[in-house]
Amino acid sequence: MIRSVYRDPRFDKQMETICKVGKKGMIAAKEADEIINRLIWGCDSTTEIGVMTKNGEHRIKKCTKYDLGCGYRLITVLSEECLFVTYIGTHDECNLWLEKNKFLQPRADKPRGKVFMVQKPAGDKLSGKRQEVFTEDEPFLQPIEERYLRKIFSGLFSRSLDG
């Protein structure tokens, strides 16, 4: 089970470089960000997270290679309960990186990187909504009962029934 996602500053520089390449690079970087966000939000299903490469990755233990489209790949490595976002690049660049890092032992003790705690999806599976995360700066709001909402928005509510 993934409890945290570690994003190294070198990865951020790689993302900047890819965005400068052109439209295809920007599309790949956006897809990588979406995959990382899904991982941080605690998606369990691999099909919901992103498209993995057909052959997977066997050079590094617990390594996952995502196909970002446009010839780009994203590489992540799971170590204990921390997922390391390790590399993004073209297919050939990723193969070269994997060859050079066959014996990679990722560590999250580097103070430079960003660590994101994985959020747990809400227990209510019927609603399909994710748990809201509040910081100390944000006030915690209680849900408003439907009868009050109907009174406040009565003009809008009656129009929607008519139209």
| Other beta carbons less than 10 A from residue 11's beta carbon | 21
* Between 163 and 61, the higher pLDDT residue: 61
Q: Is the pLDDT of residue 2 over 70?
A: yes
Contact 103, 14 (CB under 8 A): no
* Between 49 and 32, the higher pLDDT residue: 32
pLDDT digits (tens, 9 = 90+) for 103-122: 887 776 666 778 888 886 54
pLDDT of residue 59: 79
**Contacts for 17-25 with beta carbons within 8 Å, 24 or more apart?**
18/72, 18/88, 18/89, 24/70, 24/71, 24/72, 25/70, 25/72
Q: What are phi and psi of 65, to 5 degrees?
A: -115, 120
Sheet holding 4-7, edge to edge: 63-69, 72-79, 82-90, 4-7, 114-117
Rounded Cα distance, 103 and 63, in Å: 11
Q: Is the pLDDT of residue 30 over 70?
A: yes
What's the CATH number for 4-117? 3.30.2310.20
Find the range with the poorest average confidence among 8-12, 114-118, 123-127, 130-134. Answer: 123-127
pLDDT digits (tens, 9 = 90+) for 133-146: 444 444 445 567 77
Predicted TM-score (pTM) of the model is: 0.67
The ranges assigned to domains in the chain are: 4-117
* pLDDT (mean) for 50-72: 79
pLDDT of residue 63: 87
